[in-house]
Amino acid sequence: MEEIKLVFQLDEIEEAVAQFLDFSSGNKKFAFYGEMGAGKTTFITALCAALGTDDLVSSPTFAIINEYADADGEPIFHFDFYRIKEASELLDIGFYDYCEQDAFCFIEWPEKAEGLIPEDFMKVSIDVDDDNSRVISFWL
């Protein structure tokens, strides 16, 4: 395995998203690890834009799951597990049913459901760098 790192400023995010989708070709399930304000929602929003969604993508702060449609009308699922307290909540929202669909699934705060996320999710870390740029890293 090798670690891939993408470093970018906010005005370079489209290029970073294009590279990310190139590297991870085929995979549609991603868990985004990173502290508060790291840029998870911002990156997922840019991913959704690259996939052709014209819905307004916002942080699902109060919703655990938000659903958007890509350019072909296919669903994209965006989860925010920040407020998840117990495993039963994942079942309640039908998380595993969404996972089984052939659809993009993006998770913020997978830390809150550690051990409960299917293994086919690619683990992606987002970190803030010295100059306020962001570093996206994952293993291939």
Which is nearer to ligand ATP, 28 or 134 (by Cβ)? 134
List the one residue from 19, 24, 59, 137 that touches Mg ion (CB under 5 A): 59
Burial 28-40 (b: 16+ CB within 10 A, else e): bbbbbbbeeebbb
CA angle 81, 132, 127 (to 5 degrees): 35
Among 30, 31, 41, 64, binds Mg ion (CB under 5 A): 41
Which of 17, 31, 38, 105 binds ligand ATP (CB under 6 A)? It is: 38
CA 121 to chain centre: 10
Binds ligand ATP (CB under 6 A): choice among 30, 39, 48, 117: 39
Of 17 and 90, the one with the shorter C-beta distance to ligand ATP is 17
Computed on alpha carbons and rounded to an integer, the radius of gyration of the chain in Å comes to 14
Which is nearer to Mg ion, 66 or 90 (by Cβ)? 66
Give the number of residues in contact with ligand ATP, rule: CB under 6 A.
17
Note whether 134 binds ligand ATP by CB under 6 A.
Answer: yes
Interaction of residue 8 with ligand ATP, rule CB under 6 A: yes
Burial degree of 49 (CB within 10 A; 0-12, 13-18, 19+)? middle
Distance CA 102, CA 113 (A): 21
